[in-house]
Chains A and B, each alone.
Chain A
Amino acid sequence: MKKIFAIAWKDAIIRFSSFSEILFFIILPIVFIFLFAGAVPTGDEDNRIRLLVVDQANTSISQEILSELEKSTSVRPDVMSIEEAQEQFDSNRVAAMLIIPAGFDIESIQSGNAQLDFHQQPSDIDANVAQRAVETALRKVSSVFNAAQMALEEAKARGTFESLEDEQAYFNAALETAKTLQADSPERIKTVQGNTPDDFDYDPQANVSAGQLITWVFIPLFGISALFAYERQQGTLRRILTTPTSKATFLFGTISGQVLMALIQMTLIVLFAFLAFKLNWGNPIGLYIVLSCSCLAAAAIGTAMGTFIKSEGQAVGLSIMAGMLMGMLGGCWFPIELFPPFMQSFAKIFPTTWAMQGLLDLLLRGAGVVDILPEAGMLIGFAVIFFGIGVMKFRYE
């Protein structure tokens, strides 16, 4: 026991000999949680397509168009100056832009000269949707004018007007009637929400915190391989051969030390998310079962990696690469529900997927200890397989 503690303590000293380790241990995970949590949509926000609107006319009729766009179920108008809109459109930050030019008013509509400019990005489906929404809004706003115009054309087909004033008066009367009729128009669409089970639980802060926690803990645990490679390169592993220390004692000391440090790191991240986002991590026993099993799985993979990687540099590179890839493919960066179906199935070969699943069960679905046992079991399975490989293939030289 004393030997195991001594080995674990020695590893901790080596690891934290540089202040930069603190950077990766706690500072960067927190920075990443902040950045990712700030960048992903919250789910509660307006998910309609953003449409830039430049209202240079600022007339009652342009306001009516804006009001109709606000009511749209597919676009969200964002009113701004022409310079700002043009800059955003030119830098491809938005799919479409609507410009209501100065002089757009009721008179211009009556005279048939009313024109709006719609700019869209090429081959952009959002722009296509935005155009439909704008056309619908224009149709609603202009329908009374179209109806009045239609009435005027029908009248003209049955005889001429004595003067332009008479024609205008006829149009105005038709317009008033049309407005009354429009106001009394019945609702022709009945919207019913289906009974689709909403199985996509998503909370950006919960997803991001859990995802970053796993990513940033898996990478250093994969880094156990670098620890082995370092000791092998330095020749210290060979020296251990000369002492009465078994392979099992050495491996257990190294791995348990790293797992313990990972649990401390996880606890700090859990506390941070709790304090910063008031995140409820769910059942604490369940949480530490998932965290411990995740640590064991990652440490086992690191041990297995350490048996075939030759240099410390390669081990560091491969650990970070493997950690980032498994994090990404395991749903730690983006919700796995958004992956294509075959990738959702493929992701099950990664321990990160199970760790993430376990944490989200606790965080979002109120799972208890029994509910997370399948995920914990899978993680233990990874640990057994990779520890087996690691112990069998481990060599001092």
Chain B
Amino acid sequence: MLAYLQKQASALHIKEITMLKTFIIGLKDLKLVFRDRAALIFMLLTPFLLTLGMGLITGRFSSNDNSGALNIPIVIVNLDNDSMGNALVDVFNSEGLADLVEPTISQDAEAARLLVDEDKITAAIIIPAGFTHSIIPQNGITSENVQIEFYANPSRPTSSGIIKTILDGFIARLDEMRIGGVVSVTQLISSGRITPQQAQQVGDEMGKRFENNQNDFNETIITLNTSTKQTESNEVDMLSYFAPGMALMFLMYTVSYGGRSILAEKSGGTLPRLLISPTNAMQILGGKVFGIFLTGIAQLLILIGATSLLFQLHWGNTIGVIVLVCAAVFGATGWGLFITALARTPAQVGSIGSALMLIFGVLGGGFIQTDNMSAFVQTIRKITPNAWALDGFTELAFGGNIASLTTPLLALLTMGIILFLVSAFLFGRKNLMQK
């Protein structure tokens, strides 16, 4: 029994030593990287400054409102000054459109048009005198059609399109009321419920009702059930795309830097020296890989911490962020080892690593939205850890939690495992860990 326990204790001790050596090698590599100023420029300074630059050029730091409110500037010239013209003014001043439109009321149509021509506003809406009278009969008489002038800014097609939609909605409601009134009176006469002589009186009554109770006519016969996606966070910050995108791009540099150190140790003679010590090849390789992994995690956590503190960037659920960072670094480490396994010299690892860093950065969505890219590019981007990790970080920024990260986590872990296995096979064929 005692012998068995001694054997178990000894085995445990060996395991502990093995783990300790792996840990020490990894920690040594981590220290070396953080002493290398050139590496720190790439790992930390560059992604941080590029994130800052992205924030500057997109106006993230020049606006207090990051929620994306449009506040489309328009001028409404109400020359009608009657119920329908006033109703249109009320629509654009309503609370529901507060985030969309920034209306100004004017009485000068020419000045409003000039503001559009000078590209100072998106559109001018000019409601001519008599507009109400052209829709609602007065004393049984409806005037000729009076058109609202929508003076649009051609250099702002999207926002002027939005204003036109709101205007169309209002006009559709007015037409519906008008048609409803005319149909009602026509049908009442044809069914004998009222006489033709009563038509004007009934029509005027209905017109008054429309004017006084317009809100009653807001509802349509088709119900639109609206639902908003439930998330923790309702604020979407554009830096939530750029910051992880940049951090992930330069994570590829870190993992290739780590891979390069394996070949550098071989060519520099330190690897053979390690191999003649009582440390086996697996411990050394495990330590090196652990070092790359630790460095990647440290890099991402420092960048996340810095952007959270300095830019007040909300990265989302803390546990989700930590788990995703580990998975992203695992997937990227796989790529780092794969490049190392393919390359012959440390310089080759550096070159291929830098090239992949940039290509993966673009494909992953770190620089630009990839939605417009071709189907082929959309498919090929799935091989990058950047794309999956960025999907995950976006999900977290939108208020997701670890449960909503299943797909990106699975993809990153699978990617890492496959690349680790392929790399191990290639390392074996190259006899990299031979004395």
Residues of A within 8 A of B (CB): 18, 20, 23-24, 28, 31-32, 35-36, 38-41, 47-49, 72-75, 89, 91-93, 109, 112, 114-125, 127-129, 131-136, 138-151, 154-155, 158-159, 170, 173-174, 177-178, 181-182, 185-200, 311, 313-314, 316-318, 320-321, 324-325, 328-329, 333-334, 338-340, 342-343, 346
Q: Is B394 an interface residue (CB 8 A)?
A: yes
User: Smallest CB–CB gap between A100 and chain B, Å?
Assistant: 10
Residues of B within 8 A of A338 (CB): 57
CB within 8 Å for A317 and B41 given contacts A145-B221, A177-B186 = yes
Which residue of chain A has the shortest Cβ distance to B202 in the bound complex? Answer: A154
Residues of B within 8 A of A155 (CB): 184, 187-188, 191, 193
Residue pair B100, A73 in contact (C-beta under 8 Å): no
Bound form: Cα–Cα A328–B50 in Å: 8
Please, what's the 1-or-0 string for B232-249, where 1 marks a CB less than 8 Å from any CB in chain A? 011110000000000000
Bound form: Cα–Cα A314–B355 in Å: 18
Q: Is B265 an interface residue (CB 8 A)?
A: no
CB within 8 Å for A128 and B100 given contacts A74-B162, A121-B229 = yes
Residue pair A134, B155 in contact (C-beta under 8 Å): no
Can you list the 4 inter-chain pairs with the closest CB atoms, starting with the nearest?
A: A313-B38, A20-B351, A317-B41, A73-B161
Residues of A within 8 A of B231 (CB): 122
CB within 8 Å for A189 and B152 given contacts A39-B370, A73-B161 = no
Which residue of chain A has the shortest Cβ distance to B116 in the bound complex? Answer: A194
Which of A141, A190, A324, A329 contacts B46, CB < 8 Å?
Answer: A324
A–B pairs, 8, beta carbons within 8 Å: A23-B351, A89-B229, A122-B234, A134-B224, A136-B169, A158-B193, A174-B184, A186-B145
Residues of B within 8 A of A185 (CB): 175, 179
Residues of B within 8 A of A149 (CB): 221
Bound form: Cα–Cα A125–B372 in Å: 20
CB within 8 Å for A316 and B372 given contacts A18-B351, A151-B183, A343-B57 = no
- Extra 20 A-B pairs, beta carbons < 8 Å, given A39-B368, A146-B220, A185-B179: A18-B351, A35-B359, A49-B158, A92-B394, A92-B395, A112-B221, A122-B236, A134-B224, A135-B169, A139-B169, A150-B180, A151-B187, A158-B193, A187-B145, A313-B37, A317-B38, A320-B354, A329-B56, A339-B57, A342-B62
Within 8 A of A (CB), among B203-245: 206, 220-231, 233-236
CB within 8 Å for A146 and B180 given contacts A194-B152, A196-B154 = yes
Which residue of chain B has the shortest Cβ distance to A100 in the bound complex? Answer: B222
Residue pair A91, B369 in contact (C-beta under 8 Å): no
Please, what's the 1-or-0 string for B168-180, where 1 marks a CB less than 8 Å from any CB in chain A? 1101111110011
Residues of B within 8 A of A75 (CB): 165
Bound form: Cα–Cα A105–B172 in Å: 21
Interface size of B as a range: 35 or more
Residue pair B169, A182 in contact (C-beta under 8 Å): no
User: Smallest CB–CB gap between A154 and chain B, Å?
Assistant: 4
Residue pair A35, B362 in contact (C-beta under 8 Å): yes
Which residue of chain A has the shortest Cβ distance to B158 in the bound complex? Answer: A47
Residue pair A189, B46 in contact (C-beta under 8 Å): no
Bound form: Cα–Cα A94–B167 in Å: 24
Bound form: Cα–Cα A41–B370 in Å: 11
Residue pair B174, A188 in contact (C-beta under 8 Å): yes
Bound form: Cα–Cα A188–B128 in Å: 11
Residue pair A74, B150 in contact (C-beta under 8 Å): no
Bound form: Cα–Cα A211–B61 in Å: 24
Residue pair A39, B369 in contact (C-beta under 8 Å): yes
Bound form: Cα–Cα A227–B353 in Å: 21
Which of B148, B181, B224 contacts A116, CB < 8 Å?
Answer: B224
Q: Is B90 an interface residue (CB 8 A)?
A: no
Residue pair B169, A132 in contact (C-beta under 8 Å): yes
Residue pair A35, B227 in contact (C-beta under 8 Å): no
Residue pair A196, B153 in contact (C-beta under 8 Å): yes
Residue pair A189, B171 in contact (C-beta under 8 Å): yes
Q: Is B110 an interface residue (CB 8 A)?
A: no
Residue pair B38, A36 in contact (C-beta under 8 Å): no
Residues of B within 8 A of A151 (CB): 180, 183-184, 186-188
Which residue of chain B has the shortest Cβ distance to A329 in the bound complex? Answer: B53
Residue pair B223, A147 in contact (C-beta under 8 Å): no
Q: Is B95 an interface residue (CB 8 A)?
A: no
Q: Is B8 an interface residue (CB 8 A)?
A: no
Residue pair B175, A143 in contact (C-beta under 8 Å): yes
Residue pair A154, B38 in contact (C-beta under 8 Å): no
Residue pair B224, A135 in contact (C-beta under 8 Å): yes
Residues of A within 8 A of B164 (CB): 73-74, 189, 191
Bound form: Cα–Cα A356–B374 in Å: 27
Bound form: Cα–Cα A177–B104 in Å: 39
User: Smallest CB–CB gap between B2 and chain A, Å?
Assistant: 57
User: Smallest CB–CB gap between A317 and chain B, Å?
Assistant: 4
Bound form: Cα–Cα A198–B116 in Å: 12
Which of B206, B222, B347, B399 contacts A138, CB < 8 Å?
Answer: B222
Please, what's the 1-or-0 string for B124-159, where 1 marks a CB less than 8 Å from any CB in chain A? 000000000000000000000101111111110110
Q: Is B417 an interface residue (CB 8 A)?
A: no
Residue pair A91, B36 in contact (C-beta under 8 Å): no
Please, what's the 1-or-0 string for B306-349, where 1 marks a CB less than 8 Å from any CB in chain A? 00000000000000000000000000000000000000000110
User: Smallest CB–CB gap between A119 and chain B, Å?
Assistant: 5
CB within 8 Å for A192 and B149 given contacts A109-B221, A122-B229, A334-B57 = yes
User: Smallest CB–CB gap between B222 and chain A, Å?
Assistant: 5
User: Smallest CB–CB gap between B228 and chain A, Å?
Assistant: 5
CB within 8 Å for A194 and B113 given contacts A189-B168, A321-B45 = yes
Residue pair B147, A143 in contact (C-beta under 8 Å): no
Q: Is B427 an interface residue (CB 8 A)?
A: no
User: Smallest CB–CB gap between B54 and chain A, Å?
Assistant: 7
Which residue of chain B has the shortest Cβ distance to A338 in the bound complex? Answer: B57
Bound form: Cα–Cα A41–B158 in Å: 13
Q: Is B82 an interface residue (CB 8 A)?
A: no
Residue pair A321, B62 in contact (C-beta under 8 Å): no
Which of B41, B174, B369 contacts A321, CB < 8 Å?
Answer: B41
Q: Is B102 an interface residue (CB 8 A)?
A: no
Bound form: Cα–Cα A370–B190 in Å: 79
Bound form: Cα–Cα A92–B371 in Å: 12
Residues of A within 8 A of B229 (CB): 89, 119-122
User: Smallest CB–CB gap between B220 and chain A, Å?
Assistant: 5
